[in-house]
Amino acid sequence: MHLKGALHVHTTCSDGELTIPEVVNIYTGLGFDFIALTDHDYLLRPNCYDIVKTLPTDMIIFRGLELTVFEKGYVHVNRIKGDTERLHIFNHPAELDLPMEKVIDRITTVAKRFPIDAVEVTTKGFRTPEYEIPEIPYPKVATDDSHTRIGCGRAWIEMDCPRSKDGIIRAIRNNDFWNCYNEHHAVFPQMK
């Protein structure tokens, strides 16, 4: 089945401006089949994701968490829960504002603590093509990291896979998906 999805979405459960029903409505309107709620671990309001069960939607809604990890400095790792599988994504390397060799070293070090499955190649939905290199030997995913309405739908992934949480996670792990950007997409300015 052809699926379109957002792997990195913030809500009012942490520092996002939109409630869970609002992000579900917005991404549904944009034709998304799945989203992952990935609010910050240190800001997450207790039981905030419980509303997901009550929403009248066909959308696949992953529960996730954006982990703040200290490893020679702070990095962010998204943990996304499937039915039985769990996905770990090293987030927005451009936000580290480090030279490439240090970014690669940071990913390598973090991968010893977390089973990293993929690395983001976007910052807030803007493409960061400098990380689309073989020296970062992971599937590269495009995400919105949306916190606001305007941040929804800049970048996403599409895939052909079984319509289930684990089906989606396995497709990402197998690098069997496409990164997509909307027609107005811009490249994030290099920080160096």
Name which of 10 and 170 has its Cβ closer to Zn ion: 10
Residues 61-80 that bind Zn ion (CB under 5 A): 66
Name which of 33 and 39 has its Cβ closer to Zn ion: 39
Q: Which amino acid is at 115?
A: P
Name which of 66 and 117 has its Cβ closer to Zn ion: 66
Dihedral sign for Cα 35, 7, 172, 67, please: negative
| Using rule CB under 5 A, residue 145 touches Zn ion | yes
Window contacting Zn ion (CB under 5 A); options: 48-56, 59-67, 128-136, 157-165? 59-67
Q: Distance from CA of residue 176 to its chain's centroid?
A: 16
d(CA 95, CA 42): 19
The CA angle 164-52-122, to the nearest 5 degrees, is 65
| Using rule CB under 5 A, residue 33 touches Zn ion | no
CB of 168 to Zn ion, least distance (A): 19
Q: Which residue is nearest to Zn ion (CB)?
A: 145
Q: Are 126 and 188 in contact (CB under 8 A)?
A: yes
Residues near Zn ion, by CB under 5 A: 66, 145
